[in-house]
Amino acid sequence: MAETHSGHGPGRILVAVYGVLALAATGRSILQIVEYFDRAPLAYILSALAAVIYIVATVGMARGDRSSTRIALLACTVELVGVLVVGAFSYAVPSAFPDKTVWSHFGSGYGYVPLILPVLGIWWLNRVRRGSTQTSSAA
């Protein structure tokens, strides 16, 4: 049987990894904004944005109803674009990214998890969505 809830089955692993990353990104971004925001405002704003997106993706995936899945899918897409754009920029303009953020250098500070995760997330959410459309059309 195809899984139709994004937070069940293998999706639980994704929710766990997303949760951990949300935690890590939130922690780091609080530190950067509270303690040395002036050093690189752009990087730190992006860092905070990343943290919020991870939280949205985690919650969306864990809830798993139709609209939550859609929101999670959107969050994963923004994430993928973010990690690619910020990753590329951090190599092109290193001075704007003095400290590591979740997305800079394609997430190398986090074992490239931020780069792989959205791809897995998008794949999984699409699978779940397809599964649930088939179930409802069969019923």
Q: Which residues bind another protein (CB under 8 A)?
A: 8-13, 15-17, 19-20, 23, 26-28, 30-31, 34-35
Q: How far is CA 62 from CA 3, 30, 34, 43, 65, in A?
A: 13, 24, 30, 29, 9
Least distance in angstroms from the C-beta of 15 to another protein: 7
Q: Which lies closer to another protein via its Cβ, residue 31 or residue 88?
A: 31
134 is written with which tokens? 């088939």
Query: How far is residue 8's CA from residue 104's CA, in Å, rounded to a whole number?
Result: 31
Query: How far is residue 87's CA from residue 89's CA, in Å, rounded to a whole number?
Result: 6
Least distance in angstroms from the C-beta of 38 to another protein: 16
Q: Which lies closer to another protein via its Cβ, residue 3 or residue 129?
A: 3
Q: Which lies closer to another protein via its Cβ, residue 15 or residue 50?
A: 15
